[in-house]
Structure 1
Amino acid sequence: MSHRTAVFLMLLVTLLWSSAGAVSRHLDAARGFEVTFWRSAFNALALTLLLPMLRGRDYWRHALPRLRRSPSVLGSALCWAVMYTAFMLALTMTGVANVLVTMALGPLLTALFARVFLHQRLARRTWVAIWVASAGIAWMFANDMRAGESAWLGMGVALAVPVAAASNWTLLQARAGDGDTDLLPAVWLGALLSALATLPLAWPFEASGRDLAMLAALGVFQLAVPCLLVVRLTRELPAAEIALLGLMEVLLGVLWAWLLAGEEPSPAALLGGVMVLAALIGNELLDAWRRPAASKNGEMSL
């Protein structure tokens, strides 16, 4: 897979991920833990069917015994479970913008984790892009933050997402070259753990048929498909670049919330969005310019 193709697929992943906020604003009766339960349950069901289609009919017969013997898969599954649960729960507690700006800490945490645990040397342009993009997102919502208890509680829950994501990307990157470790079941196991953990808190169910249809769509197209893609992309892109490109989810999520749910962004949000796009595009253009030179000199550039 070429680097350009990998970047394009990662942007497609962020497009699919970004739909959750707008869709959650159109639910009829499902709230809180029930939203998280149904989305995770449909995600687990979709992955149960998709993985054998990708890897063969006997996939689960070979994969399930290995789950218990692989600390990497179990660790990644726990990260996925935290991400699934905390993100959707936070969306039911506070605004889309508050959740997404908290998630913007992901690239910085990922870069730091990769530097500490994987000893990856990051180019200065990557550090600059991370700081500019993160500053842009912070600026987008700085004037819109509300200090209400519910908002801050929701942001506290949302904080678990970038911490778990940074841990997961770093773990996936560390095991990307290990042909004996299949990390795709971790996505499925994470969804199953999330559904099981929230089931007691989701009862009694109040979701309407329309709610179930929308949550099923989220489970399949906003979680199962893009999460399988991103696991594959960890073989092609550094952890810091995956997290940096993932910032597009923030920008797109705000856009969908504006267009589809009436959450209009402020002028500060528009200016911050320009900063995010400039950081992402600048990083990719500099990488494309430096890559041929690095190849000629036999050097690696991140």
Structure 2
Amino acid sequence: MSASAQAASPPSRTVLTHGRAVWLMIAVTLMWATAGVVTRHLEHARSFEITFWRSFFTFAALLVILPAWQGRAVFARIRSGGRALWISGICWCVMFTAFMVALTLTRVANVLVTMALGPLLTALAARIFIGHRLPPRTWVAIVVAGLGIGWMYGTQLGDGLLAGTLVALCVPLAGACNWTVVQHAHAKGHDVDLVPSVLVGAAMSTLLTLPLAWPFQANAHDVGLLAFLGLFQLAIPCVLSVLCARVLKAPEVALLALLEIIFGITLAWIGAGEEPLPSVLAGGALVIGALGFNECLGLRDRRAAAVALPGTR
């Protein structure tokens, strides 16, 4: 989620101070982190049905939230968004679908640690497809994070968890593709509003998983939990993260987004008794450490540049 939140969006009247944006982003990561523990308390819903209901309720929520926030013109922007917006919608569809399917196949910690690769995969995609030059610190971070993920994957070859972890890898890959498409469109003078593209992605995910979810098995308890995920774990925090990204710098957003991993693993451990494997904790420490190191140095470089050029922000 966080890797794509920094793309351009229409101006908003909402004004956030830096401190409030930080606290709001922390709240956003806590909302994102509820997916694992809530999924573990479902009674009958399984696999694609879980994805269908969450995507459906996200779509329904955004149909209300977006016109209230941006006016009915948001639907005109979808119609005139062009190819980039629809490709972005496909990327969101992949992220929504792969994330929930992965949670049904493997442990919460495996999914969240794999998703942490998002910013580094995004940087690599920008280098390959857009030509952005990467500083040495980012190359080091990519190598270290790769070692961490390789260690985590290698220890899962015989325990049946690797399939879910590989599905989870689709999430940061789609996120990297999403960001690259948005940045390429921006370079061509066409800004993509990511919030309407989330609506498009939710609609696509709903339609894609409907035939795979039938016949429905979820009871009222399950549907209530999945409605919670659609509204409070996805729709609302997606909108709030866009607001935060207008105030916070990209490294700050990436660093704060790491809290989702800590919150998510902790909630699943405490709320569902799902203890993370030692190999996942070790691999995750390498991934989080590499990402944190890279983003902290990036933030320091930005601040140094701002001091050197007082007219910049």
Secondary structure, aligned partner of 2:79: helix
C-alpha spacing 1:20/1:138, structure 2 compared with 1 (3 Å): farther
What CA distance in whole angstroms lies between the structure 1 residues aligned with 2:228 and 2:20?
26
Aligned letter for 1:208?
N
C-alpha spacing 1:155/1:231, structure 2 compared with 1 (3 Å): same
What CA distance in whole angstroms lies between the structure 1 residues aligned with 2:281 and 2:191?
46
User: In the alignment, what sits opposite 1:106?
Assistant: 118
Matched, 1:33 2:48: yes
Secondary structure, aligned partner of 1:26: coil
Moved more, 168-177 or 23-32: 168-177
C-alpha spacing 1:113/1:34, structure 2 compared with 1 (3 Å): same
* Aligned positions of 1:149-228 closer than 5 A: 150-175=160-185, 181-228=192-239
User: In the alignment, what sits opposite 1:65?
Assistant: 79
User: In the alignment, what sits opposite 2:30?
Assistant: 15
Query: Pick from 98, 106, 119: which aligns with 2:131?
Result: 119
What CA distance in whole angstroms lies between the structure 2 residues aligned with 1:78 and 1:105?
20
In the TM superposition, residue 39 of structure 1 has moved relative to its aligned partner by 0.2
In the TM superposition, residue 218 of structure 1 has moved relative to its aligned partner by 0.6
C-alpha spacing 1:286/1:191, structure 2 compared with 1 (3 Å): same
What CA distance in whole angstroms lies between the structure 2 residues aligned with 1:179 and 1:23?
38
In the TM superposition, residue 85 of structure 1 has moved relative to its aligned partner by 0.6
Task: Give TM-score, length-normalised by structure 2.
Answer: 0.79
C-alpha spacing 1:8/1:36, structure 2 compared with 1 (3 Å): same
Aligned letter for 1:49?
V
What CA distance in whole angstroms lies between the structure 2 residues aligned with 1:207 and 1:186?
28
Secondary structure, aligned partner of 1:92: helix
Secondary structure, aligned partner of 1:47: helix
Offset from partner CA, 1:56-100 (integer Å, 9 cap, x none): 2x2355234324xx1111010000000101110121122223333
Secondary structure, aligned partner of 1:163: helix
8 Å CA contact retained: 2:35, 2:233: yes
Matched, 1:84 2:99: no
What CA distance in whole angstroms lies between the structure 1 residues aligned with 2:94 and 2:162?
19
8 Å CA contact retained: 1:101, 1:138: no
What CA distance in whole angstroms lies between the structure 1 residues aligned with 2:155 and 2:46?
24
Aligned residues between the structures: 296
Give the gaps of 5 or more residues in structure 2. Answer: 1-15
Task: Give TM-score, length-normalised by structure 1.
Answer: 0.81
In the TM superposition, residue 14 of structure 1 has moved relative to its aligned partner by 2.9
Aligned letter for 1:29?
H
